Structures are given as structure tokens and as C-alpha cells.
Amino acid sequence: MKLPLDTIISEEKLREYLLTRRNEDDKSGFLALAGYDLTFWHLLETDIRQLIHDQDAELLRKTPYGEMYKITGRLIGPNGRALNIVTIWITLSETGETRFVTLFPNKEIS
């Protein structure tokens, strides 16, 4: 199944969660391996959004808030390095909107 083309990927999620160093659950160091940083947040959005077009979403579970999906794929960063990732998405029960939740390294692919 493909996620909707109008799926929401918020700037705040990219800039303040994924690309800003955090004490817990830091993603910025992983993304920096491929050259993603705050100056490339638009490129990160474009690259994550491309996964929606290229890959099918797999239903993970239904929650009280909506249906959770995952899409696995590869990002090619600004420095040319590839990162194998898992992205998580939710389609909200209340509004029907689909939103990007998070990403993390895909440890199943070496």
C-alpha cells in the first residue's frame, strides 16, 4: 500500500527532533554520517518523501490514535553516503491525516 502524496512531514520534526542533538534517542549523529544537518533539512524532507513514492507501507499495528505504518528504504545523503532506514508513519483516526513520526537505522540490513 502507498501512503497518500499529501502526507505531512513537519519542519519542526525534522529540524528540532531529527537534526538537533538530543541527550536521549538522538538521530542527528546517524543522519550526519550521510551529511544531513540543519542546513540540509529541506533535502532530508525531500528524500524521506521520496520513500512514500518508491516504497510500499506496511501496517504495523492499530492504536487508539490511528494506524501505524513502516516504510524501509535508503537515503543517499548530501555527501553521497547511503543510510538504510526504517520510517514510521501514522494515519490519524480522528482526522484521516497521515504524518511522519520518526526514522531509525535499519539494523536488518548491513
Total residue length of the chain: 110
**What is the C-alpha separation between 81 and 35, in angstroms, rounded?**
8
Q: Identify residue 47 by its one-letter amino acid code.
A: D
3-26: pLDDT as tens digits: 998 999 999 999 999 999 999 889
Q: Reply yes or no on whether the pLDDT at 29 is more than 80.
A: yes
pTM for the predicted model, two decimal places: 0.93
